[in-house]
Amino acid sequence: MASTILGASGRHYVRGDVLHKNEDGKPTIFKALCGNEPVVFKQESKSIFDLSRRLADEFAGSRRLRMPIDFIPEERIVVYPYFADTLLDLIRADPEFPPAELKKVLRSVGEAIQEFHTKGWLHLDVKPDNVFVNWTCEGGNKTVTSAALGDFGIAYKQVGTTPLRTGVALGNFMWRSPEGQTGSGITKASDIFSYGLVCIYALGGGDLLLLEDEKVLAELAELGITPEEDILTRHFTYFGPVNEGLLKQVDSREHRILKRASATADLAVKNQPDLRFEVWGKELGEAALDMISGMTKLDPTARLDIDQVLRCSWWQEP
């Protein structure tokens, strides 16, 4: 008979299958049961465990943020609600998943960011694999039942409006804002840029955003181009050349990298103008194009804020 583990809340859990191992092969994420309810155990470092407790207190009861529901302090285990899928895996498994249901997911993500930003927090790692989704399929009809934004391991509480300067890039390189790639000038607007990319991904633009093919990565390495530089060049290709607003936001020592990537992008667009999002984004419809264009402006101060995003007309379209 499996032994039970007592959480800080007094609830009892039975640890189940391993869901993830770290680079050393040590299990760090487990599925578990609380009665008949599936949950997730995630073993964290002390700093992330302490951050998780702080966030759980501040966002208790949130439906859009995947907050901890319990803790096992002696093992530094954070207990999370279980979700069957992530947005990344969902679309990979079913590229034809109903668009109206994906729109529900995107709305939940937006409302999660709104809730987070309202209290002064930056997520810093908004990406499809940090969007958790539950859905059902009855009679061939697929319906999203809940969705939440999660994984707050690098979240940061902003002091006033002072941009964050880490000196190193945070989060996944494919989903960072241009300023996020430099590790300087990071604000709530950086989350908005990443959210815009997530919207593009959910609406079918994954091939333009993802950089995971080992052959492509090897070719870039032979050319002396890092994955981060390639993604930065793509973003300048899609959304326009580097501008003074972006340069003003980031540290001056990063200007050379930004200008070099922008120059490479300019050459690509000169040869192929339809690489601009303003061209290929028309396939998404005028309202979606307007909204996402506002989210992915290269000048962080010119981007829509989350309240403006959620007021865009696209959300009212069927």
What local confidence, expressed as pLDDT, does residue 24 receive? Answer: 86
- Show the domains of the chain with their CATH numbers: 18-81 (3.30.200), 85-316 (1.10.510.10)
Specify the pLDDT at position 318: 85
Confidence check: pLDDT of 58 > 80 = yes
Dist. CA 214–CA 203, nearest whole Å: 25
pLDDT attached to residue 199: 98
Q: pLDDT at position 262, please? A: 98
| d(C-alpha 191, C-alpha 198), whole Å | 10
312 pLDDT exceeds 80? Answer: yes
157 in helix, strand or coil?
strand
Percent of the chain clearing pLDDT 90 (strictly above): 95
Examine the pLDDT at 197 and tell me if it is beyond 60.
yes
Average pLDDT value for residue range 229-250: 97
- DSSP letter for each residue of 183-216: T-SB-HHHHHHHHHHHHHIIIIIHHHH----HHH
Q: Please give the structure tokens belonging to residue 256.
A: 């050379």
> What pLDDT, on the 0 to 100 scale, is given for residue 160?
85
Average pLDDT rounded to a whole number, residues 271-277: 97
Q: Are strands 4-6 and 37-43 parallel, antiparallel or unpaired?
A: unpaired
User: What tokens were used for 167?
Assistant: 């000196």
Instruction: For residue 3, name the pLDDT band (cuts at 50, 70, 90).
Output: confident
Minimal CA–CA distance to 15: which of 27, 3, 32?
Answer: 32
Q: How far apart are the first and last CA of the chain?
A: 51
pLDDT grade, residue 22 (50/70/90)?
A: confident
Residues 80-107 have pLDDT tens digits of 999 999 999 999 999 999 999 999 999 9
3-state SS track over 28-87? EEEEEEECCEEEEEEECCHHHHHHHHHHHHHCCCCCCECCCCEEEHHHCEEEEECCCEEH
Q: What is the mean pLDDT of residues 3-28?
A: 92
Quote the mean pLDDT of the chain: 96
Please say whether the beta carbons of 175 and 232 come within 8 A.
no
- pTM to 2 decimal places: 0.96
Q: Average pLDDT for residues 220-246, to the nearest whole number?
A: 97
Radius of gyration for the chain, computed over Cα atoms and rounded to the nearest angstrom = 20
Question: What per-residue confidence (pLDDT) applies to 2?
Answer: 63
Reported as a single tens digit per residue, the pLDDT across 109-144 is 999 999 999 999 999 999 999 999 999 999 999 999
Distance CA 239, CA 134 (A): 32
pLDDT band at 178; cut points 50, 70, 90: very high
10 Å CB burial of residue 305 (0-12, 13-18, 19+) is middle
| 196/173 Cα distance (integer angstroms) | 15
- In 3-state terms, what secondary structure has residue 217? helix
DSSP letter, residue 305: P
Q: Above 80 in pLDDT, residue 1?
A: no
**How many other β-carbons are positioned within 10 Å of the β-carbon of residue 297?**
20
In this predicted model, what pLDDT tens digit does every residue of 145-169 receive, in sequence order? 999 999 999 999 998 889 999 989 9
User: Which runs of consecutive H residues, i.e. helices, occur in 60-172?
Assistant: 87-93, 99-118
The torsion angles phi and psi of 24, rounded to 5 degrees, stand at: -85, 0
